[in-house]
Structure 1
Amino acid sequence: MSNETPAESRKARAARRAGEFPPPPEPLPTPVIDSHTHLDITLNEGGTDGPDSVEAAIALARQVGVDRLVQVGVDVDSSRWGVEVARKHPAVVATVALHPNDAPRLPDLDAALREIEALAAEPRVRGIGETGLDTFRTGEEGRAAQEASFRAHIGFAKRYGKPLVIHDREAHTDVLRVLDDEGAPDTVVLHCFSGDAEFARECVRRGYVLSFAGTVTFGSAGALREAAVVTPPDQLLVETDAPYLTPTPYRGRPNASYLIPLTVRALAEVKNVDLAELCAAISATGDRVFGPW
């Protein structure tokens, strides 16, 4: 029985539910990796009835077949925090970076980049990102700083032999241009892949890894599902980007690593492949990209 009053509007009901984490889905037959999550933001801003500590987030994810997490840095503080979490928890590895939308706002970009470079040498840091380009939120006035930051991160990835984790929002052509200019690292991961099948084919041809988030389950994401179809299993990862991009049927509510099975099952259906086989491929790709946990 609903406890909503008749006078309560749909908007009010949606706002009230937005802070509630969804229930755990059916476990996966084979464990997989969450290749991109923000545990710090999830714990601080997520909502109710969900994980309330790093330990709880790891345990809840493990119960549904998500046994490894990549904690992603977006600034100096979150990158430092991620390194500390990865040192304490064997299920977690970290990436470090300045988010492309933050780079133009920093009072001293060079100093921040030096701190990220120092963190990049840490053994539990297994990637450089999320870095990249975003022409959706950053206007022309910030593009030069954003691109300079991206180029610096590419250098860190090559210098330390670690994968580059790219944030690409409405900047496909420019992302490829900068990678070509600088020379791409051995391993490139396009986080929350947002391109169509044509762009996916180009990235696959270059050997890049495409990481799909809950957006692939959205009703309006037909082009993204077509991109997933043309992505080989050994170049495919899955992620939450938690606490954002919660898969359907819980879109709009907080996300966390334990909801990965919803996205994996959607991908298996879209690609018309066996679920257990897809899980095994995702797991193997995660180990190849980020190394042994």
Structure 2
Amino acid sequence: MTESAYIRQRDTTAEHGQKRDLSYPPLPEPLPVAVYDNHTHLEISDGEQPIDYHEHLERAAEVGIVGVIQVGGDVETSKWSASVAAAEPRMLAAVAIHPNEAPRYEEAGTLDDALAVIDDLASWPRTRAVGETGLDFFRTGPEGLAAQRRSFEAHIEIAKKHSIAMQIHDRDAHDDVIETLLRVSAPEKTVFHCFSGDAAMAKIAADNGWYLSFSGTVTFKKNEELREALQVIPRELVLVETDAPFLTPTPFRGRPNAPYMTPHTVRAMAEVLGDDLGDLCAQIAFNTEKVYGSWADGLVE
């Protein structure tokens, strides 16, 4: 698959039918110590002047974001992510069938075939995670939950088979996700992407050695529970992400997001924790490399 084989356009309409501000925010002040964006979707085109992943990565490097995990959500985007990451030193890949996509594959009778593709891609040297996978009770109705559950458990086994990390998508499904992880035994390196739980859930994660990845949502005024969770989880289990082009941090919420916006979230996290910014950056970078390994390894010449 070529680098540009799969690019999709984000919906440009805001809530209540209002037109979004499609201009990219200015670059923030660089971080004092380099970190990584643990979860991004650079295959999604956004903004008034959409930019390709090369430019995204260049902008990120200018502010101290030296690498990203590029995340797939179906067969096409997973292939794209793995293919680009194979030759791009600033990118590693995560591959999966998103929980909202699993019922569609199941209905078409192709879920097993799709999972076989993910299993193959998970063996590639620069595919370092299975994800995003999990459960989503917000967008998928009861008729699709059996497919979600089957897909989730299959992804868990794929991650364990290849000894790589797993990134979890958990929306309105906290109890069921935790029950599944405890019942079937979670992969050694399990990451809750865009963590959305509370302090009690963070304590469960800490007890099990699961990582929590915080996005721009931790900067939103209403999300005090997220900030409380951040204060509960040990520093050695903390990661940061953009989920770009979604979840742009305050003060640019609603505008296009990109990996270079990560410093806004890291600074907000340091403020909540009362930590020195450089120390927190160093800890997040260490954690990220512990989960995914070196960005320098496995490149195709």
Which residue, 15, 21, 28 being the options, matches 2:19?
15
Match of 1:59 in 2: 58
2:200 alignment partner, SS class: helix
**Structure 1 runs of 4+ with >2 Å offset:** 11-14
Match of 1:7 in 2: none
Q: CA deviation at 1:14?
A: 6.1
Q: CA deviation at 1:231?
A: 1.5
1:202 alignment partner, SS class: helix
Which residue, 15, 35, 39 being the options, matches 2:38?
35
1:221-270 per-position Cα deviation (integer Å, ceiling 9, x unaligned): 00111001112111000000000000011101110000000000000000
Aligned residue identity for 2:140: T
Number of corresponding residues:
278
Unaligned runs of 5+ in 2: 1-14, 296-301
1:227 alignment partner, SS class: helix
Is the Cα contact below 8 Å between 2:60 and 2:66 reproduced in 1? yes
1:279 and 1:223 map into 2 onto residues whose CA distance is: 22
2:139 and 2:58 map into 1 onto residues whose CA distance is: 35
Aligned residue identity for 2:48: T
Which residue, 248, 255, 258 being the options, matches 1:256?
258
2:43 alignment partner, SS class: helix
Matched ranges for 1:256-275 at <5 A = 256-275=258-277
1:85 alignment partner, SS class: helix
Is the Cα contact below 8 Å between 2:20 and 2:254 reproduced in 1? no
1:91-146 per-position Cα deviation (integer Å, ceiling 9, x unaligned): 10001000001100111111111111111110010000000001111111000000
Aligned residue identity for 1:193: F
Match of 1:114 in 2: 116
1:227 and 1:67 map into 2 onto residues whose CA distance is: 26
Which residue, 171, 176, 179 being the options, matches 1:177?
179
1:153 and 1:87 map into 2 onto residues whose CA distance is: 21
Is the Cα contact below 8 Å between 2:20 and 2:255 reproduced in 1? no
1:137 and 1:49 map into 2 onto residues whose CA distance is: 30
Aligned CA-pair RMSD? 1.4
Which residue, 29, 35, 38 being the options, matches 1:26?
29
2:234 and 2:131 map into 1 onto residues whose CA distance is: 23
1:244 and 1:284 map into 2 onto residues whose CA distance is: 25
Q: CA deviation at 1:53?
A: 1.6
Is the Cα contact below 8 Å between 2:94 and 2:132 reproduced in 1? yes
Match of 1:47 in 2: 47
Match of 1:97 in 2: 96
1:47 alignment partner, SS class: coil
2:126 and 2:231 map into 1 onto residues whose CA distance is: 33
Q: CA deviation at 1:26?
A: 0.5
1:169 and 1:16 map into 2 onto residues whose CA distance is: 24
Q: CA deviation at 1:49?
A: 5.0
Q: CA deviation at 1:76?
A: 0.6
1:13 and 1:161 map into 2 onto residues whose CA distance is: 45
1:53 and 1:254 map into 2 onto residues whose CA distance is: 13
Q: CA deviation at 1:48?
A: 2.4
Match of 1:6 in 2: none
